[in-house]
Every structure is written in C-alpha cells, then in structure tokens.
Amino acid sequence: MKALYPTFAVLILATGCAGPVQKQQDTYVDNLSACEKINALMGAYDNRFAGLKLARTQSKFIDSWQARYNLVGDSCQISALNESTFAYSCQQTYKEKEPALAVHKKAAEFTRQCLGEGWYEQQKESESSLRTTFVLDENTPSVSVHTGKSLSRSTPWVTSYDIGKAKN
C-alpha cells in the first residue's frame, strides 16, 4: 500500500499543474478568429490535422478525434476515413429551419471572407436542403456548409461544416 502513495501524489500534482495550462490553451483557442481557425485547419490538412486533434475515439469502422476548433456547434471532430484521407466535421441540430439557415449563412460568409480570391463557390438549394461548397483546386481540401433535414423528431434540422476532399 505504501508504494501507491507516491503514485497518487504524482497524479495529483500532474493534474493540478496541467489545469492552468489547459485553461490558457482554451482561452487562446476561444480568442482565435474564424479565419485563423480555418487557416490552421487548411494548413494542417496534409498532415492529417496534426496538432488539432484532442481526445481519440476508436471503433471498428472509424477513428475520430475531438477537434481543437469548433466552427459550427461545439463538438467538431476529425475523422480518419481511411489511411490517407482525413476530414474535419461539425454539426449542430436545430428545432426550426430558420436558425439552422442563419448559422449556415453566417458560416458561408466567414468562410468566403477567409478563403479569399481564387476559390470557386457553388450553392445548391432545394426545399429541404442548402449546400454551399468552396473549391480551389483538386489538391486543396474543399470546404462545405450544409443545412438540411435530419431524422430526429426533436431537432429535425442540422447544419454541418466540413473540410476535406471535394464532395460530388
């Protein structure tokens, strides 16, 4: 039993020391502009979003990580779609269509401003869906904002924000 006390002491000290550093990092991330976050995500794409991944979740189908930045909602993730393809994705659900579309329009606007010139913007709209996609070239990840109906009865609208290979 005596051997466990030093282990617990180290754990308590390590956790106590990590707390302020984590709070400092969280404050730094919270103060980043949407453009700084998008630029960091685009820059980290070729390195599988290294440095932007937090807690890892594994299943037999996919590996994913909590993302350091949340551009839409508060639970964005980075997923390994296969060995070489990774994607950043956020989703937020809504009870009504109007707030979902408002977030979509805001996300499309800050993305448009951040990416600058040379990007091709395509928008597809239907009664139950709106997708805005930004593409530069086939080597650069695309950015897509999508709002549409979900299967949920309590929150039937969802807005998602994705950075990855172009969706057809």
Average pLDDT over the chain, rounded to whole? 83
Phi, psi of 53 (to 5 degrees): -100, 140
**Which is more confident, 65 or 51?**
65
Instruction: Answer whether 157's CB lies under 8 Å from 97's CB.
Output: yes
The reported pLDDT for the residue numbered 60 is 83
The reported pLDDT for the residue numbered 27 is 56
Q: In the chain, what are the domain boundaries?
A: 1-31, 34-164
**Which is more confident, 165 or 1?**
165
Q: Is the pLDDT of residue 4 over 90?
A: no
**Percent of the chain having pLDDT more than 90?**
65
**Percent of the chain having pLDDT more than 70?**
80
The reported pLDDT for the residue numbered 17 is 43
Instruction: Answer whether 57's CB lies under 8 Å from 78's CB.
Output: no
SS3 165: coil
